[in-house]
Each structure stands twice: as C-alpha cells, then as structure tokens.
Amino acid sequence: MGVAAVSDRLVQTLVPLEAKSPFELRVDLGRDVPESDVRSALASGDMGFLHSFTTGSAVDGPGIRVVAWTTGCMWRCLYCHNPDTWTLTNGIPVTLTRAVEALRKYRHGLKIMSGGFTLSGGEPLMQDRFAVKLLAAAREMGIHTALDTNGYLGERLSDQELETVSLFLLDIKGWDPERHRRLTGMDISPVLAFARRLADRRKAVWVRFVLVPGLTDNFDDIAHIADFVAGLGVVERVDVLPFHQMGRFKWMELGLSYELESTQPPSAELVARVCSRFQQAGLAAY
C-alpha cells in the first residue's frame, strides 16, 4: 500500500484531524506507517504527521488562526506542554493534499478575520519538506502564514523557502549555554544563528519566551535575551508566556519523569518585571 493510501485509510478510520485543543493526548496514530514510507514522506513532503488542526486561536500570530500541530521534536524542554508531540509517529499521517484541503475550508473566514495559518508543533522543521509545501500552499491561497519554531533546524530552509512564511514565531528559551542545555537538552547557538539570519533577510519575527520560576527567571539571561532581540531590528513583539501546568497530565500518562511537578506559575509581578525589561530594550512586550 502506498503512502497516500495508508494515510487516507488511517485518517478515515481513527481520530479526526480537528481537535478542540493541542492539549488532547494523542499517541501512536501513525504507528502502522512502514518505516520506508516515513522516510520517503520526510524526503518528499508529500505526507506529514500531525497531532491535529485547531481553529480559533488568538495567540499564535495576528488575528484568528488555524493551527496545524506537527509531531516530531528533538528537544526535551522540561516545561514542554505537549510531550506527545515529541514522537513523529504519534501524529496522524496526513497527505499534503488532505492537509491543504483541510486548510482551504477556512480560507475565506481567515481573510475576513485578518487571521491566518500557523504551523506549530512539536518542531515543524523536523518535517521541513512537508512544512514548506503546506506553507507555500497557504500562501498561494492568499493566507497569512506563521511558523512557530525553536529555530534549531532553520538551516533546512533555503532563503527562497523563508519567503513562504509571513511571520516567524521564534522561541528563545534561554541565554546561558549551560542553562539552555539543561532546560532543553540542546545547544543554543543554532537558534541565535537562525535569529540573525532572519534579521539579515528582514523577516518579521515575534519572539516567545516562556517564564518559569526558578528555571528561566535569571535576570542576567533575560537582559541578554532582551538586548539581543532588540538588536535584531525585525522583532515586532515579544510574548512573555507564563508557565502553566496544563500539560502535566501528558507527562504522567506517558510515564515520563516530570521535574516541574511542584513548580508554580510566575506571579503577575514577575511577569510584569520581565515584560518591562524587554520594553526597556525598546520592544513591544506583553
């Protein structure tokens, strides 16, 4: 059975592509796809793996957004809200055609609401060919596109492919290399290099920074991030996202060791103080 046939069969018989929110736990939905089909899907981008499509988001880019949540992520952020998206084959295998059709349904509404399409995850650039094709299809429909990425695999996109994205939602999770590695398991350098490349290409960026008491609230790090981000000259806004425990149940259900069991959300005062450091650097921060 070919990739498209496997995908269509699974999509029709298992879980709907649309979800109420990305906080639905989804596992093993692509486990029946043969390894060779997974490899050819990643190489061609003609099939991808999606946790879900959600609608009505007001926080993943300008206006009201339809969001496709991809699966697959190499990072292991201690505060990850959606660890079920780490594994590629936890997602629903979806042909590019089916994903484009799903998006096409919303195109008129999105234009009326000055919204758009956001590709998030997981890390969407784990499926870079699928990401580029889906974003390009959205652009061809006249839909504003946003890519929510940790930036680590930004080199996978050519300069021309960067142009399929209207807005980058770039997660900057830390500054000090050791603290960043402890938080995410990964090196920060490629993230900063990608941010500089977006600045060189004059691409619009919104930065996202997750504020976790005791983990990402080091003020030296925050000051460095603020000054770096301001120096890029392309960052339209910074979203300071308060840590929450909505993803905790996923860590439990997946049998993962969750270090942030007793971590509380940041106080309103701390959020305001961090926002104000970004604002001091001349940035719009919320």
Question: Which residues contact ligand SF4 (rule: CB under 6 A)?
Answer: 73, 75-77, 80, 82, 85, 121-123, 150
| Residue number, 62 or 247, with CB nearest to ligand SF4 | 247
Contacts of 149 (CB under 8 A, 6+ apart): 121, 123, 124, 125, 168, 169, 170, 171
Alpha helices in the chain (DSSP H): 3-13, 35-44, 96-104, 107-112, 128-140, 159-162, 177-184, 189-200, 219-232, 248-253, 268-280
Nearest by Cα to 54 from 16, 86, 91: 16
Task: Please identify, using beta-carbon distances, which residue of 140 and 155 lies nearer to ligand SF4.
Answer: 155
Q: How far is the CB of 28 from ligand SF4 (least distance, A)?
A: 18
Q: How many CB atoms lie within 10 A of CB 15?
A: 14
Measured from the CB of residue 123, what is the shortest distance to ligand SF4 in angstroms?
5
Nearer to ligand SF4, 142 or 214 (CB): 214
CB nearer ligand SF4, residue 117 or residue 251: 251
Amino acid letter, 44: S
Helix axes 268-280, 219-232, angle to 10 degrees: 40
Least distance CB 81 / ligand SF4 (angstroms): 7
Task: Work out how close the CB of 85 gets to ligand SF4 at its nearest, in angstroms, rounded to a whole number.
Answer: 5
Alpha-carbon distance of 231 to 210, in angstroms, equals: 20
Closest distance between ligand SF4 and the C-beta of residue 184, in Å? 6
| Closest to ligand SF4 by CB, 95 or 150 | 150
Task: Name which of 129 and 208 has its Cβ closer to ligand SF4.
Answer: 208
Q: Which two tokens stand for residue 232?
A: 């890029």
Pairing assessment for the beta strands 205-211 and 116-120 based on DSSP bridges: unpaired
User: What's 48's DSSP letter?
Assistant: E
How near is the Cβ of 236 to ligand SF4 at its closest, in Å? 21
